[in-house]
Amino acid sequence: MGNPDFPSDIIPEILSRLPVKSLCRFRCVSKSWLSLIADPDFVKRHLNKAIESEDIFNQRRRLIFTGELHRSLFSLDLDEFLNHNDAIDNYLHKDYDNLIINIDDNDDVAATELDYVFNELPNNWAFLVFHSNGLLLCQLYYWDLYLVNPATRKSKKLPQIPDVGEAYYFDLFGFGFDHSSGDYKVVMLSYLEGGIMFSVYTLKTGSWRMIQTRYPYKCDLMKHGILLNGGLHWLLDRVGVEHRSSVIISFDLADENVQEITLPLASIDAKDYIVGAYRDSLCITHYADGVTDNEFWIMKEYGVRESWTKVRISIPYSVLRHSGFWKKSLDLLVFRDRLVLCNSNGERFRNLSISGLPKLNEVGIYLESLVSPYN
């Protein structure tokens, strides 16, 4: 790399550990560095460093969310904030039986607005945001889809979604990385009369492909697909059965087939629950305006019905999701439209307020990476 004193593999190894912001600056050092940082093998190596190292993962991890009106996209280095606020960790992990839970205590933190995502379409809303392996999929108003890398400030508008050719109710989306093919896939679930169909967009081909099979399910809630264990998950109702029957389906990104995952109780109704991911496990939480609950279900062993476990938390909720952010025995939960830090036993909580944003909508995480949304 221009220095005979360094073995040829030393500089790539050092650079692969650095943050994206630094690497974007270092592209100006020399043509050889520019070529290295743009090389697909180096991009993959840089991403894998975060997957292999917890320290690097935490350095690159960002919380991402939309505001109450869906008109802005924000990011937050929550790891950095927590590292400089030991009082929060101490509060959440004290072990005094008589310590009163005080959820009214707030910790304000400033977030960064990712305004460049909306430069082309400033009047649109970001309804849904999905993350996978360093890229975001943003679904805007009127169904425009964009692949975005917030760290490199690169974005790509996807081709128009396929026309299913017949009357349908609505489309749902999911996004994930197919490790078997090394490709990113956007999956569209189309809810038709009498069932659902899938269409798949792959980054390598840059085009949509319809899967002609129609599956006997219907949707009550417009919820996006939950990425876990190589598949996208939805909680749906079966059609063509005598009694209402709900089930979780998994659309496998590798073989593009659908499998069913049995719910913990036959009485669970898809219109009253949502499926999510709690850390690395499937979960289902109650979802109903005006009704509160303080329990939810976690599937501790993927695909094994007997592993469904009921979890109780000390604060009732009407809408509860896991943000995707956790560390050690701390989790960031989303109680409807606010962020709450929680210790792992669900007994101690702390509000996390974002300055200037009293309410939030879509919340998730992404890893800063060099991955290109173009190919």
The answer to whether residue 105 scores a pLDDT higher than 70 is no
Tell which wins on pLDDT, 97 or 192.
192
Q: Is 349 exposed, middle or buried (0-12, 13-18, 19+ CB in 10 A)?
A: buried
Q: Which domains does the chain have, with CATH numbers?
A: 52-367 (2.120.10.80)
Q: Which of 42, 101, 79, 140 is nearest to 372 (CA)?
A: 42
Residue 104 confidence class, pLDDT cut points 50, 70, 90? very low
Q: Which of 7, 19, 16 is nearest to 368 (CA)?
A: 19
Per-residue b/e over 178-207, b at no fewer than 16 CB within 10 Å? beeeeebbbbbbbbeeebbbbbbbebeeee
The answer to whether residue 247 scores a pLDDT higher than 50 is yes
- The strand pairing partners of 123, in sequence order, are none
Tell which wins on pLDDT, 215 or 68.
215
Predicted model pTM: 0.90
Residue 126 confidence class, pLDDT cut points 50, 70, 90? low
Token readout for 45 is 């190596």
Report the alpha-carbon distance of residue 366 to residue 344 in Å, rounded.
Answer: 22
> Residues of the chain with pLDDT > 70: what percent?
87
- In the predicted model, what is the mean pLDDT of residues 167-181? 87
Contact 49, 57 (CB under 8 A): no
Residue 111's pLDDT is what? 87
Residue 125, amino acid? W
Residue 90 confidence class, pLDDT cut points 50, 70, 90? low
Residues 6+ apart with CB under 8 A from 129: 64, 65, 66, 73, 136, 137, 138, 139, 362, 364
- In the predicted model, what is the mean pLDDT of residues 189-212? 93
Residue 207 confidence class, pLDDT cut points 50, 70, 90? very high
Residue 103 confidence class, pLDDT cut points 50, 70, 90? very low
Residue 314's pLDDT is what? 85
Residue 37's pLDDT is what? 95
Residue 242's pLDDT is what? 75
**DSSP letter assigned to residue 344:** T
Q: Are strands 106-109 and 349-354 parallel, antiparallel or unpaired?
A: parallel
Cα dihedral across residues 209, 212, 216, 218: positive or negative:
positive
Residue 92's pLDDT is what? 65
User: 């004193």: which residue's tokens?
Assistant: 5
Residue 39 confidence class, pLDDT cut points 50, 70, 90? very high
Give the helix ranges, DSSP H, for the chain: 10-15, 20-26, 31-38, 40-52, 54-60, 78-83, 86-93
- In the predicted model, what is the mean pLDDT of residues 204-233? 92
Give, in degrees to the nearest 5, the angle at Cα 130 between 212 and 122. Answer: 105
Mean pLDDT of the chain: 86
Residue 204, amino acid? K
- In the predicted model, what is the mean pLDDT of residues 21-44? 93
Residue 98's pLDDT is what? 37
Residue 337 confidence class, pLDDT cut points 50, 70, 90? confident
pLDDT in tens, 281-331: 999 999 877 788 889 999 999 999 999 999 998 888 988 999 999 988 899
Residue 96 confidence class, pLDDT cut points 50, 70, 90? very low
The answer to whether residue 262 scores a pLDDT higher than 60 is yes
Element of type H or E holding 364:
strand 360-367
- In the predicted model, what is the mean pLDDT of residues 322-342? 91
Q: Which of 270, 278, 224 is nearest to 251 (CA)?
A: 224
- In the predicted model, what is the mean pLDDT of residues 143-166? 86
